[in-house]
Amino acid sequence: MDQTDIHNRLSKRTFIFLIIGLLTLLMGSLVALANENRVTVLASTLNVRYGPGLSHEILTQVHEDEHLHVLGEDNQWYKVRLSNNDIGWVASWLVENEEVTVDNRATGRITGNKVNVRQFSTTESPILGTVHSGEEYEILYSENNWIQILFNNRVAWIHSDYVERLEGTPTALASSDSEGKQIRIGMGPTNLRQGPGTDTPIVTTVSDVTEYSVIEETDDWYGIRLTDGTLAYVASWLAEIVESNDSSTVQSAEPADTAAPQVQQASSLAEATIVIDAGHGGHDPGAVAKTGFTESEVALSTSLRLAEILERAGANVILTRSDDSFVTLNDRVYYAHRARADAFISIHYDALEIPNTMSGTTTYYYSESERNLADTINTKLTQQGPLKNNGVRHGNYFVLRNNAQPSILLELGYLDNDHDITIVNTANYQQTVAEAIYHGLSAYFAP
């Protein structure tokens, strides 16, 4: 699959900056350049968050034309240092940068046995948890005898006496994240791969439900050890976490609130990453209208219109396909996970065995937590759409069921309905539903 299909123009810029960063590193002049990495805020008010994505809490806000110092980049978010030396993250597409390179990162390896992680750089401040000998964390900043790290997605401090400073990024996520974690896989045929990605070779396929201990977590993949000793990887969205009854494996020093998933509405559509998934494509046309056009064609043209509207509104848009190519269902979900999408919108058109049975649009969701996204968008489709609306329904679709990001699937008309096919294959209809979806997303992400 062509990588340009799923990256927008901004990620291409980011890629170029990464290349520049690597070249600079080779020339050995990165340290000098790192001090020049400044970006300018474009939005009138921009949220600075504790981590790279809308799911992280807001640390503070900055305002238009303010300058921020860039320390690093992840998932199209910049890690920045503020004027008061706080560290946070901003959406890269909402700031203007001239010559950002990735900072020379340093890693700290923990040398103490059970080291306290604190909220501030003083022994008086609250303990957020503990880290253990051998674990590696990226160093964000150091001050006097204290080192600032990202701990459970928030900035925290450890005393420098218990940290050995290394060059480069941590080799893997800190082991504390996966310590004692058990997963269950094989509910359906599940591929185990040589590396953390669907582009790596398959080691074996598990068809029976089996439990494994997680020895490593990389992006959205779990590293596990097979019985013959082979290291293999499984996508986290194909695995269930086995709840442990053994409380000793739970880090008791860690407050419960930092471990709980952070669920928070985004404050604006512009800050959001939206994955638009045009159904079918390539050798899979989907439904075919008797007048000759296919579901894959109209799903794509509707998706491209939606992408254009959302990009104009400032959102970070990723298309699972932008031409008539085939994309597996697994990859579609993977793009949502990799981008840590704030919403995944799958666009389809319908057909039934018996023509002219049904007409109009239907909105599907899988988890109750996605009901609000489905309702909000469906309300706008009802208000603005020219076809009748069949409401919001639970739908057991692969791209929803296996998707950990908020996801819905829209069926935007019946290609076996004589009335619907005179309407859905028009620019006017597709533009109208794309605008309805956009208005729904705006309402969903409104503060």
Binding site for Zn ion (CB under 5 A): 279, 286, 348
Dist CA 235 CA 20 (whole Å): 31
Dist CA 142 CA 132 (whole Å): 19
Could you tell me the smallest distance in angstroms from the CB atom of residue 289 to Zn ion?
A: 13
Of 196 and 281, which CB lies nearer to Zn ion in the complex structure?
Answer: 281
* Paired tokens of 432: 């109208």
Of 346 and 376, which CB lies nearer to Zn ion in the complex structure?
Answer: 346
Distances in Å between the alpha carbon of 141 and those of 158, 174, 185?
A: 11, 18, 39
Dist CA 333 CA 344 (whole Å): 9
Could you tell me the smallest distance in angstroms from the CB atom of residue 348 to Zn ion?
A: 4
Could you tell me the smallest distance in angstroms from the CB atom of residue 351 to Zn ion?
A: 8
Local structure of 65: helix, strand or coil: coil
Could you tell me the smallest distance in angstroms from the CB atom of residue 317 to Zn ion?
A: 21
Dist CA 311 CA 304 (whole Å): 10
CB proximity list for 26: less than 8 A, separation 6 or greater: none
Distance separating the N- and C-terminal Cα atoms of the chain:
37
* Paired tokens of 241: 């976490």
How many residues in the chain? 447
Distances in Å between the alpha carbon of 405 and those of 305, 337, 370, 399, 436?
A: 22, 7, 9, 10, 21
Question: Using CB atoms, what's the residue nearest to Zn ion?
Answer: 348
Of 103 and 350, which CB lies nearer to Zn ion in the complex structure?
Answer: 350
Of 12 and 394, which CB lies nearer to Zn ion in the complex structure?
Answer: 394
Of 86 and 331, which CB lies nearer to Zn ion in the complex structure?
Answer: 331
Could you tell me the smallest distance in angstroms from the CB atom of residue 190 to Zn ion?
A: 24
Of 81 and 280, which CB lies nearer to Zn ion in the complex structure?
Answer: 280
Amino acid letter at 382? T
Could you tell me the smallest distance in angstroms from the CB atom of residue 409 to Zn ion?
A: 8
Could you tell me the smallest distance in angstroms from the CB atom of residue 148 to Zn ion?
A: 48
**Token pair 């085939």 in the structure block, residue:** 326
Of 102 and 421, which CB lies nearer to Zn ion in the complex structure?
Answer: 421
